[in-house]
Chains A and B, each alone.
Chain A
Amino acid sequence: MREAILKVFRGTPVEAGKFITYKVPVEEGMVVLDAIHYIQGYLDPELSVRWNCKAAKCGSCSAEVNGDPSLMCKTRMDQFAEGEEITIEPIKTFPLIKDLVTDVSFNYEVNKQIPPFCPADDATWIFKQEDIDRVQEFRKCIECFLCQDVCHVLRDHERKDAFWGPRFFVRSAGVEMHPLDCGNRIPLLEEQGGLGFCNITKCCTEVCPEEIHITDNAIIALKERVVDEYHDPLAALLRRVFKGK
């Protein structure tokens, strides 16, 4: 049986981190998360990792595999060459807890700031599939936070104080563009969410395992609404009156 060589980051905020090398037998169709489970089950029961569904539906097992932000449950072992060292590290944008586990509480705090879905009192709850295709795309998000991980504003400029990150622009777009929503989150997105900091480099879109067009369909669409809100109030008003949300 073929063996894979995994270099896995081990460490805590107080101890200096280091990479430990493990040799793991490879089965057909194996993914990186299986290799991590093998390490836990046979070599080192203390290795910390988050996972749940193992089917790319829960977004728990995010890590950086050979530097690429990935879901470990979706990263096949057979894409690596025989004898290639596979490096596995925690996602970098969030503070380390231990090994592959990071403190992602920032995301849960941001989520609380987004005003809830707010339907009209007289809504009939009849709407066409084509009216919701757009929000259904946003609602596919599994909250793996890989988009947050790669976003320059969070990762390099560390502006967690003033920027919500792509995940929460997608989440906001999901309520803002619901055909029955009457709220207006645009000023909040601009002033609290820091939407303007995004310079649409599309890094978030590239890593999204759900293939959500984060930049084109969510962020740019919201930026256009910001422009209307502040510079073309008539367009903003018309959109609200005619529910062209």
Chain B
Amino acid sequence: MANYEIHEYDVLVVGAGGAGLRAAIEASAQGVSVALVCKSLLGKAHTVMAEGGIAAALSNVDQQDNWETHFCDTISGGKHLNNWRMAQLHAQESPERVRELERWGAVFDRTSDGQILQRAFGGHKWKRLCHVGDRTGLEMIRTLQDRGVHQGISVYMECTITRLLKDGEKIAGAFGYFRQDGRYVVFKAKAVVLATGGAGRSYPVTSNSWEYTGDGHALAYEAGADLIDMEFVQFHPTGMVWPPGVRGLLVTEGVRGEGGLLRNNAGERFMFRYLPESTRKDYAENEEESKRWVDAVLKGAKTEARRPPELSTRDNVARAIYLEVKEGKGTPHGGVFLDISYLNSERVKKKLPSMYQQFKDLADVDITKQPMEVGPTMHYMMGGVRVDADTAATRVPGLFAAGEVSGGMHGANRLGGNSLSDLIVFGRRAGAGAAEYAAGQEDRLQVSEDQINAAAEELEAPLTKKGGSSPYELQRSLQEIMGEHVGIFREDAVLAAGIAKLEEIKEELKTVSISGSKLYNPGWHLCRDLKNMIICSEAIARSALARTESRGAHSRLDYPDTDPEQAKFNIAISRLDGVMKLEKTPRPEMPADLKKLFEKKEQTNA
């Protein structure tokens, strides 16, 4: 029998980044009791690292902007694989969610007439990103954190959830442990909201922190939910490449939004060559037009000039950089040059203060005088738990998901800035959905001791074994497999070999062992995190093998073209008899009135 403490709430929110905090605030505002659980200290979640801004069609800078254009940009960026209803709600509601943040105390940068300032970003037709220099995520998480403090939400920090508990088909709570002393805890809850973020730690080069081990993806999978679009992994085009210790660290897209230029080692603005035919007309034709656009940004003036090709979508820019480097046109450290040093140095420091500091402190590069060296870094999971757009409910009664852990919103490729808005739009909806569901449930849900004991035994196992694999060694092997076999470019045989290696790692995980006690033992924590990382990695690899086309962030060397037929389905992963099952499920059909928006867009572009 396991020893554990018990807490009881109506709604349990797992994860305290933007989505989790917003969900907890909303559920609590609906009058139900709420617990918020996070793996780190409160306020340290990955949202804090988001830099460039929140996309919302406030049309403060470009008056032509509206939700319809934001919707079309999101769907085009997602290569038409998005869940249309999520993209619609997101575009319609993000302006109000941003204003709400402001009312709760967020202090955004201002336009000259005192409104929230907006900047350009890749794939967004108009200047749409509300921001605070290059630390927008910090502003958002602190605002939500300080709001939540006064809402009576119970916060359990440094607590890792390892299993969702069920009463029959329904969610009945969750089991986990406290990192500090390893004591076990059962949260009885009528509804659980997953807001656990992504899974970047499975890759060797990533912008993600240690927490990003695909926990919510794996918890949902094991509880019977389905994961969609797992083949779509976003490699952010601009991570630091040098020095080695900071490889993968994010360089905000805001650099390009403020006029940053990409060049190869011959000094060529190579992005002009990589614009897809379908969007070429949205971008500057040559350096002269691109310069006119930047000059207008600097003056805060209107212009007819189109935006620079550096502001193409992330999937496209990442592929371009990868190919330039592969063709020998890279920098000494295997990246390309990103240059903002031609702008006034005071402006750069004001607009991109943390980038300035980051390069100065960590790479001895003064970005106001020299170019940066950048290359792709694993950044974001488009794929995730399938949810109902309006309520964020999964197919498991009582289980909800919001933010990066959910799937569908971003389709095959996410636009920069659409993540922070996703968090607050669907965080709020998940909180409301969970609160409403919980209020409609009977009081007593039963959790069998068997489930709890099994969860505890799983955690005890690596402590009782001797001489098995080291969890850190296993993590390095996993990262190597994902980097080599399931990276930016994929192909049949390479993916299949990767899956075979993942099967071996799964077996090896059973022998993993760790010394020491349960007292703040990071090696022990990693033993359990690895299981989630492997589930996610397998889902990514199997989905990537099944999608025999190139679309958005999924690039197949053996299927380089986009196949319109394959826009008709999402690949869904679920568990059947302990084995990963893959299905092609029809993508929900967009209603005619929304389809018309694209026709209108074609006309205005023609």
A52-B44, A135-B107 as given contacts; A101 in contact with B149, CB under 8 Å: no
Does B299 reach chain A (CB closer than 8 Å)? Answer: no
Does A74 reach chain B (CB closer than 8 Å)? Answer: yes
B522 engages A54 (CB within 8 Å): no
A51 to B46 alpha-carbon distance, docked (Å): 11
A52-B210, A53-B209, A132-B107 as given contacts; A142 in contact with B138, CB under 8 Å: yes
B107 engages A136 (CB within 8 Å): yes
A125 to B526 alpha-carbon distance, docked (Å): 46
A interface secondary structure, majority: loop
Q: Which A residues touch B105, using CB under 8 A?
A: 116-117, 175, 178
Does B115 reach chain A (CB closer than 8 Å)? Answer: yes
Which residues of A102-128 have CB atoms within 8 Å of chain B's CB atoms? 104, 108, 111-112, 114, 116-117, 119, 125-128
| Binary interface encoding of chain B residues 19-53 relative to chain A, with 1 for a CB under 8 A from any of its CBs, else 0 | 00000000000000000000011111110110000
B139 engages A139 (CB within 8 Å): yes
Does A243 reach chain B (CB closer than 8 Å)? Answer: no
Does B470 reach chain A (CB closer than 8 Å)? Answer: yes
A42-B472, A52-B211 as given contacts; A30 in contact with B245, CB under 8 Å: yes
Does A140 reach chain B (CB closer than 8 Å)? Answer: yes
Does B113 reach chain A (CB closer than 8 Å)? Answer: yes
Does B132 reach chain A (CB closer than 8 Å)? Answer: yes
A91 to chain B minimum Cβ distance, whole angstroms, is 13
Q: Which B residues touch A140, using CB under 8 A?
A: 135, 138
A108 to chain B minimum Cβ distance, whole angstroms, is 7
Does B244 reach chain A (CB closer than 8 Å)? Answer: yes
Does A201 reach chain B (CB closer than 8 Å)? Answer: no
Q: Which B residues touch A51, using CB under 8 A?
A: 209-210
Residue of A28, A29, A51, A104 ringed by the most chain B CB atoms within 10 A = A29
Which residues of A34-64 have CB atoms within 8 Å of chain B's CB atoms? 34, 40-42, 45-60
Residue of B with least CB distance to A15: B519
B545 to chain A minimum Cβ distance, whole angstroms, is 30
B211 engages A112 (CB within 8 Å): no
Which residues of B442-483 have CB atoms within 8 Å of chain A's CB atoms? 470-472, 476
Does B8 reach chain A (CB closer than 8 Å)? Answer: no
B520 engages A48 (CB within 8 Å): yes
Which residues of B328-367 have CB atoms within 8 Å of chain A's CB atoms? 354, 357-358, 361-364
B249 engages A55 (CB within 8 Å): yes
Q: Which B residues touch A76, using CB under 8 A?
A: 361-362
A40-B523, A45-B472, A99-B520 as given contacts; A129 in contact with B110, CB under 8 Å: yes
Does A98 reach chain B (CB closer than 8 Å)? Answer: yes
A55 engages B103 (CB within 8 Å): no
B104 engages A117 (CB within 8 Å): yes
Does B428 reach chain A (CB closer than 8 Å)? Answer: no
Residue of A with least CB distance to B471: A45
B316 to chain A minimum Cβ distance, whole angstroms, is 25
A31 to B519 alpha-carbon distance, docked (Å): 26
Q: Which A residues touch B43, using CB under 8 A?
A: 58, 143
Does B246 reach chain A (CB closer than 8 Å)? Answer: yes
Q: Which of A47, A53, A74, A141 contacts B361 (CB 8 A)?
A: A74
A135 to chain B minimum Cβ distance, whole angstroms, is 6
Q: Which B residues touch A178, using CB under 8 A?
A: 105, 107
A178 to B139 alpha-carbon distance, docked (Å): 14
Question: Which A-B residue pairs are the 8 nearest by beta carbons?
Answer: A29-B243, A45-B523, A117-B105, A126-B114, A46-B516, A48-B520, A52-B209, A98-B520
CB-defined A-B contacts under 8 Å, sample of 28 = A12-B519, A29-B245, A29-B364, A40-B472, A45-B472, A45-B526, A47-B522, A52-B46, A52-B210, A52-B211, A53-B46, A53-B49, A54-B246, A55-B250, A56-B361, A58-B43, A58-B48, A74-B362, A97-B520, A99-B520, A112-B150, A116-B146, A116-B147, A125-B99, A126-B115, A139-B132, A140-B135, A142-B48
Given contacts A116-B105, A142-B138, 8 further A-B contacts (CB under 8 A): A40-B472, A52-B209, A54-B246, A74-B361, A76-B362, A116-B146, A127-B114, A178-B107
